[in-house]
Structures are given as structure tokens and as C-alpha cells.
């Protein structure tokens, strides 16, 4: 921690289930900090006792962020080293922390990351879906209309999508995703990641909805959903449409030439004349 001799805010990731995932750097950072800001002082206190860290803690959660943020930033400006942790995973990722980080930066206080577990990234890495581009959506809105509107806005999203969801709402959410995204869209439900009963189920949204409607899930849930198909790429990858193929399904040479012209942007007459030169015939006597 000596790279920041003055006050510094350390954003420290903690385990999302398996206590062995707590890094040596995270332990050292919390031990050397002047204060640990945590979502639940009792839960964090238990973790600190297990690793022998005696740093004082202060509560910092969703409902006291506005009040606590200026108080903690004042300590940082005065030279304190503060470690920010949440109940599990990386602070500020669907957890408290964003306001404190932003305010500290605006006050000129250094902010350093002590990276580690993140349920979103862990689930993405084992979902078997594209990882080159993805979007993290966190928890969907709890209200029906707002949730539907959010899903509708993501209907054409081409990137892999990551969501958090409560186990009690899983089946209903998968049902709604199947309605909006299509029942055949592939997704993975990652449950209790890094814990004893970790489970990953990969199937279509319709199949997943049926599964979890019949057998309700328990534990922490991350849903990873395949992005929308790239229609332009699909069209490019498709076999080329030819005059012969169009004639086989009953189009006249003139009609087939018009279709090819629309697809390629070439003049219809030019396409028609080329086909005639190659031996094609038409029942119509004129190209006019």
C-alpha cells in the first residue's frame, strides 16, 4: 500500500462464496487500512476475525451512502487509508460504492483497485457464450412494466448479456425473456457460483423457464443470455441466390432477374441479358 503514502480509497473484492478466493493482497490491504467501509459490519467482522484482521469498520450500504460518503471522503482527504468492501464480490458492481468512488476522485483522492471475485465475470467465463463483447445489466427492475420495457430495449442487443436475479423470481424472468428474446435463444443459469452446490445449466430460454418452473432454484443466481443474431452477417453467410434457384421455385426469367437486381443493385435488364446469353429462356417474348 505504500505506493499511496497519502489518503487513498482501496476498492477491495471479497469472496462470493468460497473463502479461499480472498487474495493475499486483499488481506494485506484490509490489515494496513485505517478503516474498512463495509456493507454489513457483522458479516465483514466475521470474515476479518477469521483472517486475524483487527481494522475498525464502518457501515456503508445503500440506505446510508448519502450520509456516509462525505464523512469517509473527509477522512481520506485528511490522509486516512480506507478499504471499501461489500458483502461479496467487487464493490460498486450492483453493490454500494459508486458514489464514494466518484466523490473521492472528484476530491482528488487516489482510488486503487484490489481486484478479485465478481459473479458476473465468473459466470460469463463458464457460460459457453461469446465473451469478446458483453453487457452487464445487473438486476432487472422489480416492477412488471419497467422490467418488460427494459427487456424490450435489449431485444436486438447483439452482445452477450449478463443479469443478476433473485431465486424466487427466476422462472418468471426466464419466461419473460423467452417471450421477448425468443424461446430458442440460448442462455445459462449459473447458481451458487464458487459455493458447494454450484450449478450451471445451459439451454434455450424456454427450456430453462420450464426447468425452474418445475423445480424452483435456491441461492444466488446469474443469468447469461446469448445476444441477438446478426441478421446482416446471417444474410452474408447464406448461400447466394441464383437465377437457376429462382427458376426452380417457379419464377419466370424476368421475375428472377428482378429479384437478383433488388438483392445486388445491378440493372435488371443487364442480369436478364446475361442469363439469356448463358442459355436461359423465358416464356415471355419481350423484356419490356
Domains and CATH numbers, the chain: 8-117 (3.40.1010.10), 120-229 (3.30.950.10), 239-277 (no CATH)
Predicted pLDDT at 125: 97
Mean pLDDT of 26-42: 97
Q: How many CB atoms lie within 10 A of CB 162?
A: 23
Residue 214 belongs to what H/E stretch?
Answer: helix 205-214
Predicted pLDDT at 287: 43
Judged against a pLDDT cut of 80, whether residue 246 lies above it is answered with: yes
Mean pLDDT of the chain: 90
Residue from 94, 11, 86, 107 nearest 44 by CA: 86
Q: Over the stretch 87-109, which tens digit does the pLDDT of each residue have? A: 999 999 988 999 999 999 999 99
pLDDT band, residue 288 (cuts 50/70/90): very low
Least confident of 4-18, 73-87, 89-103, 238-252: 238-252
* CA pair distance 139, 52, nearest whole angstrom: 34
pTM score, whole prediction: 0.77
Predicted pLDDT at 250: 82
- The answer to whether the beta carbons of residues 140 and 161 sit under 8 Å apart is no
Q: Over the stretch 46-79, which tens digit does the pLDDT of each residue have? A: 999 999 999 999 999 999 999 999 999 999 999 9
Contacts of 61 (CB under 8 A, 6+ apart): 39, 40, 96
Judged against a pLDDT cut of 80, whether residue 3 lies above it is answered with: no
Q: Which residue has the higher pLDDT, 259 or 196?
A: 196
Judged against a pLDDT cut of 50, whether residue 285 lies above it is answered with: no
Please state at what angle helix 253-264 crosses helix 268-277, rounded to 10 degrees: 130
Residue from 21, 36, 22, 28 nearest 3 by CA: 28
Amino acid at each position: 500500500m505504500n505506493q499511496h503514502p497519502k489518503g487513498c480509497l482501496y476498492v477491495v473484492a471479497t469472496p462470493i462464496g468460497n473463502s479461499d478466493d480472498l487474495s493475499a493482497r486483499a488481506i494485506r490491504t484490509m490489515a494496513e487500512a485505517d478503516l474498512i467501509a463495509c456493507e454489513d459490519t457483522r458479516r465483514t467482522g466475521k470474515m476479518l476475525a477469521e483472517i486475524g484482521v483487527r481494522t475498525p469498520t464502518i457501515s456503508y450500504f445503500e440506505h446510508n451512502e448519502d450520509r456516509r460518503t462525505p464523512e469517509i471522503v473527509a477522512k481520506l482527504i485528511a490522509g486516512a487509508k480506507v478499504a471499501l468492501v461489500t458483502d461479496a464480490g467487487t464493490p460498486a458492481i450492483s453493490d454500494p460504492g459508486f458514489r464514494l468512488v466518484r466523490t473521492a476522485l472528484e476530491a482528488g483522492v487516489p482510488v486503487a483497485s484490489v481486484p478479485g471475485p465478481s459473479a458476473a465475470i465468473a459466470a460469463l467465463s463458464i457460460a459457453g457464450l461469446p465473451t469478446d463483447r458483453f453487457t452487464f445489466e445487473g438486476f432487472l427492475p422489480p416492477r412488471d412494466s419497467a422490467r418488460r420495457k427494459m427487456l424490450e430495449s435489449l431485444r436486438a442487443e447483439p452482445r452477450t448479456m449478463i443479469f443478476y436475479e433473485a431465486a424466487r423470481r427466476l422462472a418468471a424472468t426466464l419466461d419473460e425473456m423467452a417471450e421477448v428474446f425468443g424461446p430458442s435463444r440460448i442462455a445459462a443459469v449459473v447458481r451458487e457460483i464458487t459455493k458447494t452446490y454450484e450449478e450451471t445449466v445451459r439451454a434455450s430460454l424456454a427450456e430453462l423457464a420450464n426447468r425452474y418452473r418445475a423445480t424452483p432454484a435456491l441461492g444466488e443466481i446469474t443469468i447469461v443470455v446469448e445476444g441477438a443474431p446478426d441478421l446482416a452477417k446471417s444474410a452474408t453467410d447464406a448461400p447466394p441466390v441464383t437465377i437457376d434457384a429462382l427458376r426452380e421455385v417457379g419464377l419466370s426469367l424476368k421475375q428472377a432477374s428482378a429479384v437478383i437486381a433488388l438483392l445486388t443493385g445491378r440493372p435488371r435488364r443487364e442480369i436478364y441479358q446475361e442469363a439469356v446469353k448463358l442459355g436461359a429462356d423465358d416464356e415471355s417474348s419481350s423484356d419490356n
